[in-house]
């Protein structure tokens, strides 16, 4: 029960990693507020349906979660979108969505959460990506956004360590989620076969399952990571970005 008596807010709680994360936090004693566009079906202690592209929604969310739960100790900026394609194929709408969800929302949520954590300390865990550290091909918007989130993590980790607010990030490579499978479907590929082909590119023999990422998020949020600030933890099965 690493999180007994603690209160957590998880964004993207209805997604592949998010749903597993919410369940894992609650199983270890945390009270959890969850947000997504529609998250009422997720078992949690508070639900906030909303759009992370809405700045006012993001600004208010940590306070609303703290009121519902009785405080805020952990913020997991887990929500994200993947925009694929060369820069010449992307639109202004693609840019706006990617930056709003992957960069602006974590910025706003962190800005609002830090004052709530200032007296007692807390942990913020961002979900960046290996691709934000070493860019892969044909994903310029995704790469840019995850690189920005990684840099923000490092900055906040240093700036707020004196308040015992630890800010770190998990940086996955491919994860077997509905998001990645929908990307294959959009491109006309068989998702199961595409995942099998990806598995063969990973030294450990498979791409990550959501629990593989969640276990690292839980570590970073827990007291076991008490001396980590601004860390970017890669979870990639030994696979480099290629």
CB-CB contact of 161 with 229 (8 Å): yes
H or E element at residue 127: strand 122-127
Q: Is the pLDDT of residue 28 over 80?
A: yes
Whether 159 shows a pLDDT value over 90: the answer reads yes
Rounded CA-CA distance 118/129 in Å is: 27
Q: What is the pLDDT of residue 224?
A: 98
Confidence of residue 63 (pLDDT cuts 50, 70, 90): very high
Mean pLDDT of 216-232: 98
Q: State the pLDDT at residue 183.
A: 80
Active site residue 142: yes
The pLDDT tens digits for 34-56 are 999 999 999 999 999 999 999 99
Mean pLDDT for the chain overall: 96
> What pLDDT score does 188 carry?
84
| Predicted local distance difference test score (pLDDT) of residue 140 | 97
Q: Express each pLDDT in 101-154 by its tens digit.
A: 999 999 999 999 999 999 999 999 999 999 999 999 999 999 999 999 999 999
What is residue 187's predicted lDDT score, i.e. its pLDDT? 80
Instruction: Tell me what the mean pLDDT of segment 171-196 comes to.
Output: 88
Residues 173-211: b if buried by 16+ CB within 10 A, e if exposed = bbbbbeebbeebeeeeeeeeebbeebeeebeeebbbebe
108's tokens: 């706003």
Kindly state the helix (H) or strand (E) to which residue 105 belongs, with its residue range: helix 105-117
Is 182 a residue whose pLDDT tops 90?
no
Q: Considering 142, 150, 221, 225, which one is annotated as catalytic? A: 142
SS (H, E, C) 131-200: HHCCCCCCCHHHHHHHHHHHHHHHHHHHHCHHHCEEEEEEEECCECCHHHHHHHHHCCCCHHHHHHHHHC
Instruction: With cut-offs at 50, 70 and 90, classify the pLDDT of residue 100.
Output: very high
| Average pLDDT of the residues in 63-80 | 98
Task: Note the pLDDT of residue 222.
Answer: 98
172: left (phi over 0), alpha (psi -120 to 50) or beta: beta
Q: What 3-state class would DSSP assign to 220?
A: helix
pLDDT value at 185 more than 80: no
């Amino acid at each position: 029960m690493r999180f007994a008596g603690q209160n957590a807010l998880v964004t993207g709680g209805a997604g592949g990693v998010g749903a597993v994360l919410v369940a894992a936090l609650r199983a270890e004693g945390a009270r959890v507020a969850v947000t997504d566009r529609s998250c009422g079906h997720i078992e949690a202690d508070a639900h906030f349906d909303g759009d992370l592209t809405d700045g006012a929604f993001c600004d208010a969310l940590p306070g609303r979660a703290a009121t519902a739960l009785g405080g805020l100790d952990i913020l997991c900026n887990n929500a994200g979108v993947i925009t694929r394609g060369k820069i010449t194929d992307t639109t202004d709408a693609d840019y706006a969505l990617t930056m709003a969800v992957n960069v602006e929302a974590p910025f706003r949520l962190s800005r609002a959460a830090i004052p709530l954590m200032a007296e007692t300390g807390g942990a913020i865990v961002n979900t960046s990506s290996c691709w934000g550290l070493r860019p892969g091909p044909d994903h310029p918007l995704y790469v840019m956004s995850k690189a920005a989130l990684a840099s923000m993590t490092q900055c906040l980790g240093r700036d707020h360590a004196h308040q015992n607010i630890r800010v770190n990030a998990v940086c996955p490579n491919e994860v077997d989620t509905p998001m990645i499978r929908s990307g294959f479907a959009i491109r006309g590929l068989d998702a199961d076969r595409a995942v099998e082909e990806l598995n063969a590119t990973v030294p450990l023999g498979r791409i990550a399952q959501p629990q593989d990422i969640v276990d690292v998020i839980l570590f970073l949020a827990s007291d076991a990571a008490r001396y980590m600030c601004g860390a970017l933890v890669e979870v990639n099965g030994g696979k480099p970005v290629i």
